Amino acid sequence: MAMTTRQRARLSKIIQIVIFVGVIVAVVLQVDWRILGDNFFAFDKLGPIFPELITVGLKNTLYYTVISFAFGLALGLLLALMKMASFAPYRWFATGFIEFFRGVPAILVLIAFGYGVPTAFPGTSWPQPVVVMVSLGLVSAAYIAETLRAGLQAVPKGQIEAARSLGMPAWRAMVTIVIPQAFKIVLPPMTNEVILLTKDSSLAFILGASMAQYEMTKIGRDGITSLGAGITPLIVAGAFYLVITIPLSLIARKFESRSARTKR
């Protein structure tokens, strides 16, 4: 007897599940769990990097992220307003800045500021944390500027016109009406930008640093050579990044859900 369409679909799903489970079992059986444990999960050897991983690495990672984001947010708002300005040179400058810093890898910006500035200006030497925060802040500003510009343009023009008809100056209408609404619109992508900055802070290792300036990845990298625990220190450092980024992802989803309900 010929199968119905529903029966064929059900059989197809069962076959796919069997194949998927079979592949997983085959991979699991091929893994050398002893070597994997010695190199990836040797948690008993991690004592020497605690509590520095938390008191130094986690603290500096959060410090670099928060300051870089604050700098990027202030500069990004200025760039967004410049890109929307009627004065052409402002638009040209903002466009050039945004395209440049969105187009080059963050690690190249870090190298340029860390090694290029002292070379170009002999006698000038910025502290490593300042280089990290300025470099990441500039890259972040380029992305935030485009996000904010989209948010500013999404605010209905009728609200600006209503404010102006009440005698409110243009700058005051922008500060008190348009910008606050734009920030509400762009909260989800802003949260994603914080997540990206958190991960990009791991690039600080390229500049070298004293122990007091280490972030989590640097402590994990040093642990690989000093503890004899394989890459377990990096696995743990990665877990701490997840402790930061997963709650931020949940917050971004909550903002997106709230924004979607508001639009209905």
- Contact between 56 and 219 under an 8 Å Cβ cutoff? The reply is yes
Reported as a single tens digit per residue, the pLDDT across 204-234 is 888 877 777 888 888 888 888 888 888 888 8
Q: Which helix (H) or strand (E) holds 24?
A: helix 5-30
At 217 the pLDDT is: 87
* Cα–Cα distance list, 248 to 76, 130, 229 (Å): 21, 25, 30
- Contact between 62 and 132 under an 8 Å Cβ cutoff? The reply is no
At 17 the pLDDT is: 96
Per-residue pLDDT of the chain (264 residues; tens, 9 = 90+): 677 888 889 999 999 999 999 999 999 999 998 888 888 888 888 888 888 888 888 999 999 999 999 999 999 999 999 999 989 999 999 999 999 999 999 999 999 988 888 888 877 778 888 999 999 999 999 999 999 999 999 888 888 788 878 888 888 888 888 888 888 888 888 988 999 999 999 888 888 777 778 888 888 888 888 888 888 888 999 999 999 999 988 988 888 787 777 666
Residue 180 token pair: 């606050």
At 139 the pLDDT is: 95
Rounded distance between C-alpha atoms, residue 213 and residue 142, angstroms: 26
Rounded distance between C-alpha atoms, residue 50 and residue 53, angstroms: 6
Instruction: Compute the mean pLDDT over every residue in the chain, rounded to the nearest whole number.
Output: 88
At 213 the pLDDT is: 81
AA letter at 140:
S
At 79 the pLDDT is: 96
At 207 the pLDDT is: 81
At 264 the pLDDT is: 63
Rounded distance between C-alpha atoms, residue 135 and residue 141, angstroms: 10
| pTM for the full predicted model | 0.83
- Contact between 106 and 135 under an 8 Å Cβ cutoff? The reply is yes
Rounded distance between C-alpha atoms, residue 63 and residue 163, angstroms: 39
At 188 the pLDDT is: 84
At 246 the pLDDT is: 92
Residue ranges with strand state E in 7-56: none
At 141 the pLDDT is: 96
AA letter at 233:
P
Q: Which helix (H) or strand (E) holds 33?
A: helix 33-40
